Structure 1
Amino acid sequence: MEAENYTAVPFFIIKGISDNPKFQAPIFILVLLIYLFAVGGNIGILFLVGMDSKLHNPMYFFLGNLSVLDISSITVTLHKTLAIFLTGNKTLSFPGCITQVYFFMALECTELLILAAMSLDRYAAICNPLHYPMIMNPRTCAFLASVCWVLGFIEVIPHAVITNNLSCYTSNEINHFFCDVLPLMKISCSDTSLLKLWIVTEGVFVSGVVPLVTTLVPYIFIIRAILKVRSTSGRQKAFYTCSSHVTLVIVLYLTLYCLYLTPSSENTLDSHKLFSLFNTAAVPILNPLIYSLKNKDVKSAVKRQLHYLYCKMIYPLTLNFKKCEKHIES
């Protein structure tokens, strides 16, 4: 009978990143800058991939998908945090909370699958370079991306359904800056054994291990192929083309490990909040940052677009603009 007092939870109160009034303004400025930098950087990647014809290949097609995922993920998680700072309203409806849980998990799963697809693309490019254009043709790339998006949003539906059925809560205050499964489980007085079992079986092994294996196995063959290359410059070039992707994979999986696979005694709510902030804020920044600093094609594309902009501003006449374009291409 006591549990019945907690069955009706019309809304939750998001505690946020910090309760200390002294930290509110600095945290708001920091979060806003992180959000603007992440969104702006990923929009820049999308612009380059869309506008520069030399980036119209499978690698940058999947990179564009990653940018869309990063923009969506950071918006889903940080929009409420920014709204709290601006309006002071910390409440979030129960359906809104479950919706946030669903989209956060769906976007995370989709990103892992896209990274696996990028690994297959690198395998085809390095191990089968002569047949690469036929293997990774636009239709194949669109099919792989569609499968990743559909599977990512389908496989987390049970998570959201089970979480939605946690009707009993000891409190409606969530010690987090957005609705996530673990903080909800902490304040739930319902039986969470089914949700824990589903997280371990489907969440860890299906959503985590399968994409990880799919990502790592192609690199076994990639490394073998690279080691067979006789020239040092050839090996360095092959490793260089994979370094950005490998860096993103390592950072993302390490962050997810710290979030969901560390022992419960060590994975306190505060540490979970810290790793969640890094996962939702820093990872979307790393995508454009890594590919901008480490990728020669992206650097060249940025220079070309800046030069094209310069031509349009300085040489408005068609004849002069075409001459300027030819000069850039040369």
Structure 2
Amino acid sequence: MKRNLSLGMLIGVWVLVFTATATASAASEVLDRIVAVVNEDIILLTELEERMGPYAQRIRQQAFDLDKERQMLFNVRNEMLNRLVDEKLTDQEIKRYDIQVDETEIDSTIERIKIANTFTDEDLRRFLEQDKMTMERYRETIKEQVLRTRLVNYQVKSKIVITEEEIRDYYDSHPEIYGGTLNYHLRNILMRVPDFSIDAEKQTVSEQMQQIHSRFEAGESFADLARTYSQSPAAADGGDIGEFSKETLSPKIQAALDGVAPGQATAVLETDQGYQLFYVEAVDRTEGKPLDSVREEIHQKLFAEVVDKKFLSWLEDLRSQSHIKIIN
């Protein structure tokens, strides 16, 4: 089974993620048993039911047909069980390396969460009450998250080095982000296709546009051709439709303009408005961001990408070295 697990899903310290507790009446109806063995630890059915409870409730509220609902519940059960296995493994590693956290650090983490969510003490307590979670259980949850974060820092983050060469390569390969904005001054020739046209009528318009393109290639003025043949509102201005940043153009037009220099035109394009030709009057690129001004930003992006990959690799290695038995 393919697992969709990321570092953020396991150790999301900065996000308020609460798991609703099962009610006493529901718990009493479930015969508890072991659903997984993870080295010397076990996972109980009640743990799994508690974890998947909110997700199962949302699925049942969607009124899917019975087969689809069963399949979705099955998938959620497997996903939640895998998360619990991963948490057991990381908790065992925390004990192994004797990673500790004191009450002051838990207080500081909760304060940062309150600030990030603009919560007062009363807001937080009310939020916890809605999820049927006590402050004591919430503090324990925060403690678990902080401990897992420290484990990841120790096992993964501390071993990652982002080089200057990697930063520069990323900078050079993303001119659309750091190289300024590419702007085109364009003219166009538009020939519309009547609504509900048959293929033969479309073919006729297409051939007319191809003839106009050939005349431009032979040396005729694009502006004069636009004044004579274009059905665009800009025809009287020689087809001058103004300046556009590349990002505002449709993907089809962007692709057609790629490599087209000033004084050249695209091939004939079939668009929603009809058949069109685009002439590049001028190309301008605004000044980009210097590498020094974005070095830290790029470092953080690359670091985050590597952390997720390394974390998943580390977790898979940990699984392969562990005794894990799923009991259906």
Q: Tell me the TM-score normalised to structure 1 length.
A: 0.19
Instruction: From the two aligned structures, give the one with the greater helix fraction.
Output: 1
Query: Could you say which structure has the greater relative contact order, defined with CA pairs below 8 angstroms and 6 or more residues apart?
Result: 1
Instruction: From the two aligned structures, give the one with the greater strand fraction.
Output: 2
Q: Tell me the TM-score normalised to structure 2 length.
A: 0.19
Return the index of the structure with the highest Cα Rg. Answer: 2
